[in-house]
Amino acid sequence: MRQIRRALLSVSDKTGLVELAKTLAAKNVELIASGGTARALETAGLKVTPVEKLSGHGEAFQGRMKTISFEIASSLLFRRDDASDIEQAEKLEIQPIDLVVVNLYPFHETLKKQGGFEECIENIDIGGPTLLRAGAKNFQSVTVLCESNQYSEFVQEFENTGSTSFEFRQKCASRVYTMTAFYDMAIAGFLTQKSGEALRYGENPHQKAFVLKNPFEEGLAHAKSLQGKEMSYNNYLDADFALKTLQDVHSWQKDKALPTAVVVKHNTPCGLAIAESPLRALEKAWKGDEKSSFGGIIALNFPVTDEVATFFSEKFVEVILAPSFTDSAREKLKKNCRVMEVGLTPHSSWQVRSIEGGVLMQEQDSFDLSQMKTVTQKKFAADKEKLAGFAALAVKNLKSNAIALCRQEGPEFELLTMGSGQTNRVDCIEKLIHSRLSDKGIKDVSDVVLASDAFFPFADSIQVAANLGVKYIIQPGGSIKDNEVIAEADRLGIAMIFTGRRHFLH
């Protein structure tokens, strides 16, 4: 375990700085510091090596240049266990720095107090992130502290051994990259808004909003609207949902994908269909919920031709997503309808969702029926298993709690109706599915498949489904009362499949 012999300190927030430095000095650690940090340490009676002794230059450009130099970066980056790096460091007279204590200019605080443009720019830290990232990259040997609340844990390790554990250094490195990611995100958002690339408004007119485009991934954020008004915040949310649903269904069909149409309203698919022709797919998807389809977002896996454009001549939609549009089709579409060319290959990126004080990150939900099995006495007919798969895919893209009823005619599939966003599955069926079937005049659902996004916790959902006339159910299973649910399905003559995979969506 390498001892900490040299430390570089450069902080805006000097909370706990002197106490930390005294702990280091007590073990004969050389303190290297810049500007105000050096002055604070010297005032406390500590011996300090000025950073310019390493960099070869003092501060320049009104403080914009302090710690960035080949010598300092090399002191952090060269590998302590690599013979070639060690030899080169000796030739260059580079001595290792083992500890970096840096926090960043208060850019966030400057934004919060609504500082002027120039003040915000001057509070963009450059040297700090450079030092932190360099040290964090070499965390096998270098400890990096980017927040004062890390000092006490560091001191506990350091006072016992004069060093730190690999696990502590790795944790600190992770924290550095998290901090610099949020720091850069704030800067990117600030400059994006100032450069005129902000959206008109957010979810509501009083909210500011903008899009940050990930340069390492393709996708909707990079797609250009070929005509119509600018995309709004809500347009992007609904279009993203529509595109992901379309990509799911298109991929599920593999190499023999039929025309597929998705209709989304308020982040919920209200229409979904696979058919033998583009127009039939559109008609079936639109009729999934004709009231909600008005003003919706449409996603298609086929080119928009004159014939397809004509379908929308008497209908209002916000956005149409498709692989391509003919010039004449674009002329036929209403001028305020946004049209965007998109790809059909899904990207398995991580999902990011903000919460107060941070973000949640998770892998994209994936669809897999490899563990699908019938658990009831009554079995699914072979032609119903394909429909069961479509129904499971449809409910995967509905907001929890969710129930989907799906129907098949030959090679064609459609989302007949659905209930989503309820606090229990019984309400999904009784309050939403039942009334929507009545509105459509549908009385016989013995050939449809009912899909649930999560397990039925009690047998009451099976009873309610049976009251509708449902004979086929697909659900994840996994309840402690699965046996009771299966027994009730057997009693009522219902065939039921467990997939072993839940698809909550919040």
pLDDT digits (tens, 9 = 90+) for 211-244: 888 888 888 988 888 888 889 999 999 999 999 9
Would you call 33 helix, strand, or coil by DSSP? strand
Cis-peptide into 401, omega within 30 deg: yes
Q: Is there a domain that residue 1 lies in?
A: no
Q: Does position 263 have pLDDT exceeding 90, yes or no?
A: yes
Residue 65 has pLDDT above 80, yes or no: no
CB contact set of 138 (below 8 Å; sequence gap of 6+): 76, 77, 78, 79
**Is 351 among the domain residues?**
no
In whole angstroms, give the CA distance from residue 323 to residue 247.
11
Together in a domain, 325 and 412: no
Percent of the chain with pLDDT over 70: 99
Determine the Cα–Cα distance for residues 268 and 420; give it in Å rounded to an integer: 8
Query: What pLDDT was estimated at residue 473?
Result: 94
For a pLDDT cut of 90, what percent of the chain falls above it?
A: 53
Phi-psi domain of 154 (left: phi exceeds 0; alpha: psi -120 through 50; beta: other): alpha
Looking at the fold, whether 292 and 416 belong to one and the same domain comes out as: no
> Which residue is it, tokens 């308020």?
266
Mean pLDDT value across residues 401-419 = 91
Mean pLDDT throughout 142-159? 93
Same domain membership, residue 449 and residue 383 = yes
Q: Average pLDDT of 451-458?
A: 90
255, 309: one domain: yes
Last residue of a domain, one of 156, 176, 193: 193
Phi and psi at residue 497, to the nearest 5°: -110, 140
Q: Are residue 298 and residue 399 in the same domain, yes or no?
A: no
Residue 34 has pLDDT above 90, yes or no: no
Domain check: are 40 and 135 in the same one?
A: yes
Least confident window among 9-13, 194-198, 291-295, 336-340 = 194-198
Q: Nearest 5°: phi and psi at 213?
A: -95, 125
Domain of 171: which CATH number? 3.40.50.1380
pLDDT for residue 487: 93
Q: Are residues 281 and 322 in the same domain?
A: yes
Q: Does 348 reside within a domain?
A: no
Amino acid of residue 496? M
pLDDT given at position 108: 86
Domain membership of residue 107 as a residue range: 6-193
The set of residues, in sequence order, having a beta carbon less than 8 Å from that of 438 and lying 6+ positions away, is none
The mean predicted confidence, pLDDT, of the chain is 90
What's the pLDDT score for residue 142?
95
Q: Are residues 403 and 471 in the same domain?
A: yes
Long-range own/partner contacts, residues 110-114 (CB < 8 A, 24 or more apart): 111/186, 111/190
Q: Which structure tokens are listed for 177?
A: 């990259």
Q: What tokens appear for 295 in the block?
A: 């003003």
Task: List, in order, residues 6 or more apart from 366 with CB less than 8 Å away.
Answer: 348
C-alpha atoms less than 13 angstroms from C-alpha of 328 in its C-beta half-sphere: 5
Task: Give me the CATH number covering residue 390.
Answer: 3.40.140.20
> What does the alpha-carbon distance between residue 257 and residue 110 come to, in Å, rounded to a whole number?
53
| Of 268, 251, 110, 105, the residue nearest 180 (C-alpha) | 105
**Which position has the higher pLDDT, 392 or 430?**
392
301 and 399 co-located in one domain: no
pLDDT higher than 80, residue 63:
no
Are residues 59 and 78 in contact, defined by beta-carbon separation less than 8 angstroms? no
* Amino acid 278: pLDDT: 95
What per-residue confidence (pLDDT) applies to 217? 85
Q: What is the DSSP letter of 83?
A: H
Domain shared by 295 and 383, yes or no: no
Two structure tokens written together for 102: 């840096």
- Radius of gyration of the chain measured on its C-alpha atoms: 30
Q: What is the number of domains present in the chain? A: 3
On whether residue 470 sits in a domain, the answer given is yes
Residue 506 lies in a domain: no
Q: DSSP string spanning 345-400?
A: S---PEEEEEETTEEEEEEPP----TT-EE-SSSPPPHHHHHHHHHHHHHHHTSPS
Q: Please give the model's pTM, rounded to 2 decimal places.
A: 0.85
Mean pLDDT of 154-167: 92
- What pLDDT, in 10s, does the model give residues 273-307? 999 999 999 999 999 888 888 889 999 999 999 99
C-alpha 25/C-alpha 45 separation (Å) is: 11
Residue 267 lies in a domain: yes
User: What is the rounded average pLDDT of the residues 366-372?
Assistant: 89
Domain boundary residue, one of 150, 178, 193 = 193
- Catalytic residue, chosen from 266, 332, 434, 440, is 266
* C-alpha count within 13 angstroms, C-beta hemisphere, residue 157: 16
User: Is 362 part of any domain?
Assistant: no
Q: Is 353 within the bounds of a domain?
A: no
164 and 250 housed in the same domain = no
User: Read out DSSP for 212-248?
Assistant: ---TT--SGGGPPEEESSPPPHHHHHHHHHHHHHHHH
- Tell whether 111 and 253 lie within a shared domain: no
List the catalytic residue out of 22, 137, 287, 332.
137
Smallest CA-to-CA distance from 294 within 273, 261, 264 is with: 264
| Per-residue confidence band for 60, with pLDDT thresholds at 50, 70 and 90 | low
Active site residue 440: no
Q: pLDDT band at 350, cuts 50/70/90? A: confident
DSSP 8-class letter at 325: B
Q: Is the pLDDT of residue 1 over 70?
A: no
Of residues 449 and 196, more confidently modeled: 449
pLDDT of residue 352: 87
pLDDT band at 119 (very low <50, low <70, confident <90, very high): confident
Q: Would you say 365 and 349 are in contact if contact means Cβ atoms under 8 Å apart?
A: no
Residues 18-32: pLDDT tens digits? 999 999 999 999 999
pLDDT band for position 16 (cuts 50, 70, 90): very high
∠ CA 437-441-444 to the nearest 5 degrees?
Answer: 70
**Residue 150: pLDDT over 90:** yes
Q: Is 137 a catalytic residue?
A: yes
Can you tell me the distance from the alpha carbon of 452 to that of 398, in angstroms, rounded to the nearest whole number?
10
Higher pLDDT, 373 or 419: 373
